């Protein structure tokens, strides 16, 4: 059975392109435009890894990450945060120990770098 990756991002084009790239690498991919939609998908089946955008409407990536890492069902699911915002890069670097994410990557990201990060966590 393929490892399942949940991508949460409010940019539909990024979701589509990233999903296709990951599916081509053998992963099952589920996408959500916001945390609320993602939460409902996780009730059905907890993913093996979550790619989570930092800047989103409603609950931002930091809040969502901390909530996921606090919940019994998802606390052990690796989370990779991503953002295109340069100011968020500094926040991620400076506050890494306070942010529950397992890793982060900057948009636009290189496919090979993203795949390396994913493979480190779920093969």
Q: What is the per-residue pLDDT across 68-119, written as a single tens digit (0 to 9) for each?
A: 999 999 999 999 998 877 777 777 766 656 678 899 888 888 999 999 999 9
**Strand ranges (DSSP E) for 2-108?**
4-8, 28-32, 49-53, 79-83, 103-106
Cβ neighbours of 30 (radius 10 Å): 17
Peptide bond into 103 cis (omega under 30): no
Domain assignments of the chain as residue spans, ordered by start: 4-122
Q: Which fold has domain 4-122?
A: Rossmann fold (3.40.50)
CA atoms of 101 and 77, how far apart (whole Å): 10
Query: How big is the chain, counted in residues?
Result: 123
The pTM assigned to this predicted structure is 0.92
User: What does the block give as tokens for 84?
Assistant: 């295109």
| DSSP helix/strand/coil, 5 | strand
Instruction: Compute the average pLDDT of residues 9-22.
Output: 95
């Amino acid at each position: 059975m393929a490892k399942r990756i949940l991508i949460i991002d409010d940019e539909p084009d990024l979701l589509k392109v990233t999903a296709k790239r990951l599916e081509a690498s053998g992963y099952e991919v589920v996408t959500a435009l916001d945390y609320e939609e993602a939460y409902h998908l996780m009730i059905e089946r907890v993913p093996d890894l979550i790619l989570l955008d930092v800047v989103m409407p409603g609950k931002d990536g930091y809040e969502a990450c901390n909530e996921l890492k606090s919940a019994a069902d998802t606390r052990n699911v690796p989370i990779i945060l991503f953002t295109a915002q340069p100011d968020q890069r500094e926040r991620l670097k400076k506050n890494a120990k306070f942010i529950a994410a397992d890793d982060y990557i900057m948009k636009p990201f290189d496919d090979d770098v993203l795949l390396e990060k994913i493979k480190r966590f779920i093969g």
